[in-house]
Amino acid sequence: MTILIASSVVRGSQQGESHGGVYLVDTQHNTFEQVLDWNTQSIDWQGRGWDRGLRGIAFDGEQIFMAASNELFVYSPDFRLLASYRNPFLMHAHEIAVHERQLYLTSTGFDSVLGFDLDRRQFCFGMHVQRVGGAFQARLFDPMGSRGPAASNDLHINSVFCNGDGMYISGLKTASLLRYHGGRLKRWASLPRGVHNARPLGDGVVYNHTDVNQVCWQLRERRLSLPVPQFEPESLTHTGVDELRIARPGFGRGLCVLNNNLIATGCSPSTVAVHDLEQQETLSVTTLTRDVRNAIHGLEPWPF
């Protein structure tokens, strides 16, 4: 068990209310501390999550990087804001990841992945993902120029993970985990639709199968799954908000790997669970709120 950092998005919140926050979660003692409250007024009010809340989380040395919908924020370990960066091709950001000296962000609103140079502190890489027939194509562009892709959300690219073997990308509508390596983008593994947070783990792929309220580890010859935590309807609050604008109970999103067997995942209302994949057992469940609008987004081990 370990301390985790989690970000949340409050869907369906009203102007003047909190739109999410950042929490340190002690999964051993099932306790938590809110360290940031996201209540900015400069957001887009067009339904569902959109500009609300903080999303992906990554680290570089003594700095914490967190993505909002269209801005990358940098915080100190005591959550002082150090800097922020915008780019015209960053829209509805989801997960982010650091590899070597670059930070990669999913720009869901452009079906793209952006790269941010951690040393020069500027955007340096852009890749637009398209489905052409039965294959996927990557078109590179300069995120600091004006000739990038038009806004689109055909694939809902929501997850990026990098290691020495390449960059792995997936989305709600890709039905695949894609790998970008050697200048080529290819299908690395088949997935169901409706997936968040897909990434390689061992000989398979681990992901939140959000559409069916499960956490899955898909191996070559078998598929292991666990249900996300469930709640009695009468225990939830703010259920009267238009259902199209809120995260339903059990909406699974947010995942990090703790070791070869243990992962942590998030769901709504904001809850963090630790699962043992080999033993097919949920080891701990920490619920931060019963407000059904409040959904976990980013989730990472706390390194400080």
* Low-confidence winner among 48-52, 93-97, 178-182 (lowest mean pLDDT): 48-52
Bridge partners for 128 per DSSP = 112, 139
Listed by start position, the domains of the chain span: 3-301
Return the CATH architecture of domain 3-301.
Answer: 6 Propeller (2.120)
Whether 17 has a pLDDT exceeding 70, the answer reads no
Mean pLDDT computed over 168-188: 96
What per-residue confidence (pLDDT) applies to 272? Answer: 97
Taking only the tens place, the pLDDT of each residue in 269-302 is 999 999 999 899 999 999 999 988 889 999 999 9
Burial 219-254, CB ≥16 within 10 A → b, else e: eeeeebebebbebeeeebebeeeeeeebbebbbbbb
Contact yes or no for 196/210 (Cβ under 8 A): yes
How does pLDDT run across 202-246, given as a tens digit for each residue?
999 999 999 999 999 999 888 999 999 999 888 988 776 655 555
Higher pLDDT, 40 or 133: 133
Distances (CA, A) of 144 to 87, 148, 149: 8, 9, 12
Tokens of 87: 């780019």
First-to-last C-alpha distance (Å) of the chain: 15
- pLDDT higher than 90, residue 48: no
Q: Any idea what DSSP says for residue 277?
A: T
Residue corresponding to tokens 């950042």: 22
Distance of CA 209 to the CA centre of its chain: 13
Q: What's the rounded mean pLDDT across residues 149-160?
A: 96
Q: Which helix (H) or strand (E) holds 169?
A: strand 166-171
Which carries the bigger pLDDT value, residue 57 or residue 248?
Answer: 57
pTM tops 0.95:
no
